[in-house]
Structure formats: structure tokens, C-alpha cells
Amino acid sequence: MRPTLTLRVRFAETDQMGIAHHSAYVVWFEAARVEWLRARGMSYRALEEEGVSLAVSALNVLYHQSTRFDDELSVQAEMTELKSRRVRYRYEITRGGERVASGESVHTPVDRRGRVVRLPQAWLQALEKHVAPL
């Protein structure tokens, strides 16, 4: 995986012990996922303009090491599965080359009413060449 996003742990993302709160990792995954799409000339906004959103239907985070305020992190994202009704990403967060967290998310395309739909064919065709092997 190549770095998708570099960030520093912000003070607001830490808990009383000065450690990054577990919920921050999910936000970092999402930011990396958005940047992953942008680097391929696509955007969530464009998909939403077509009336489709990608709802998170499953999420898994493994915490390998703690991170603290002002740590510089690299967040990698890559798509590992692309189907008309399911998209899967995996993530890795590193600090100085050491893995601090990893995870996976599964997304289901839904319309504006929240009903499951298929990804537009043009999106499937544009993304299929970017799916990483498991």
C-alpha cells in the first residue's frame, strides 16, 4: 500500500490520557478513502450527484500501538473488492514505518431514500482496474 494521507494527531482527537481516541481512526480511514478516490480522478461528491451514496455496512479496526498528540501518521487505503452492491477497502496506519492500526470497511451503495442499489456501471468500469489483490 502506498501512503494516501499524512496527518498529525490533533489535540482534540486525544483522550484524557493523551492517547488518540479510538473513534479518530475511523475518521482517518474515511479521509484516506476519499483521497484514494480523488487520486484516481473520482469523488464521492460526483457519486452522490448521481443519487448514490456508499453507506458503511461493516467496519473493523485493529489497534497495534497507541498514538499520541502530534504524532505524524501515514494512512493508506486501497480497494480490495468491487461488486455492484458491495465495495471493500483495507487500511493501514503507520508512524515512522511501524504499523499502529489496520482495518477494513465494507460499503453498500444506497439511493437518497437509503435503499440498496447497484453502483453505476460507469463507476464499476472506472474502478475495476484499481482493485488490489487480497
CA distance 101 to 81: 20
Contact between residue 13 and residue 93 where contact means Cβ atoms under 8 Å apart: no
Nearest to 101 by CA among 70, 132, 76: 76
pTM for the complete prediction?
0.92
Domains of the chain: 5-130 (3.10.129.10)
Contact (CB, 8 A) for 110 and 55: yes
pLDDT digits (tens, 9 = 90+) for 37-76: 999 999 999 999 999 999 999 999 999 999 999 999 999 9
- Listed range (2-16, 28-42, 89-103) with the worst mean pLDDT: 2-16
Q: What does the pLDDT look like over 74-97, one tens digit per residue?
A: 999 999 999 999 999 999 999 999
Grid cell at residue 59: 467496519
The continuous run of DSSP H or E covering 94 comes out as strand 86-95
